[in-house]
Structure 1
């Protein structure tokens, strides 16, 4: 509860549900650390509440939105909730998180900071939603552009070599970024954000590219709607 209150004071959000005595301290600590890091670096959406409570079946963390009572009909407020039952049962929580992941390489460090990774991944999905899906629509094109920008010799190369090189470069993204071999832009954006939050400058170059696209797009849409601006 003390950590939650500190977060509340630092970011001006309401907190609830942290007084329960059976909560696992490590789980809750990682949940709050993830929120603190995201709100410190990317205040892109209007987060008003942080809670331990009930989430949709099959979920661990939910970053949800609701229309505000403001005059602007397009305005939303957001809340972040960690499932209360799982917050008291870390073994079951870890099992659920493992089962949710697609086969393939996970984001570096995600397996050792599962709750942190799950929380920031949900923020990534929320930012995609806040950006009206524009980042998802542009993801493949932005990746191709970034790859070609770094490959000064592509003008003199055959198409097959360029395509093969691009796919090798893009394959640095997490295994969750591909569904049966097909690029999944929504999952790729969420995991790219997770990679950058977990690993900073050591994140893969494709992940940095998508993370920048995701946060820039959410910021632009938010400003256009008169919402929260990134600090």
Structure 2
């Protein structure tokens, strides 16, 4: 049976999803949109993630072991990132990964908690067995399972796009210089913890390599790219150890 905490967690995801869709709809239709919707979206994220972090790690403990566990926890990373976006100048693309996560959580919550209360279950497949889920719930389950990997790939590429956006934004003074630095550390963690992120980075690297090393490309392009890769390799390849996936908690990648 769902607890009050579980309903609050789901409520955060629904708040995020509805507010983000309102925000994106205004952008797509070229209408003015208040940053209030952006703030509310990330408020929903903070509500959901703080519950997941508490369930995963327990209450904060004043010791190094607890903080070490927290810093490598995916849900904590997305919680801290949500806090950063909430307190920063709006970057519309920053909402996309959270919106995708919340979509999957909202659909799963609807299938497991809402639909059984409003739609009748089917007869059990065997005498004394559990009743079958309603066909709508079954369709939702199939859709979520069949589209999960595709959605996580989309998140990985979107997170790289966000990095490019805020890097250019820092150069053109559209966002703070802290944004790409903070986000680069987040992506560094994602590289070690997510196969989807590693695949996305490998794909982008291959495409850039094909461009800068093709016949007729400016020699300076190869030199710049080699220096960039060397710096990134030294910075990203030092201290982190890939984390084993945590049990599904309903926060970040477990969507």
Relative to the length of structure 1, the TM-score reads 0.26
Compare the two structures and name the one with the higher strand fraction.
1
Is the radius of gyration larger for structure 1 or structure 2? 2
Relative to the length of structure 2, the TM-score reads 0.25
- Greater relative CO, 1 or 2 (CA 8 Å, sep 6+): 1
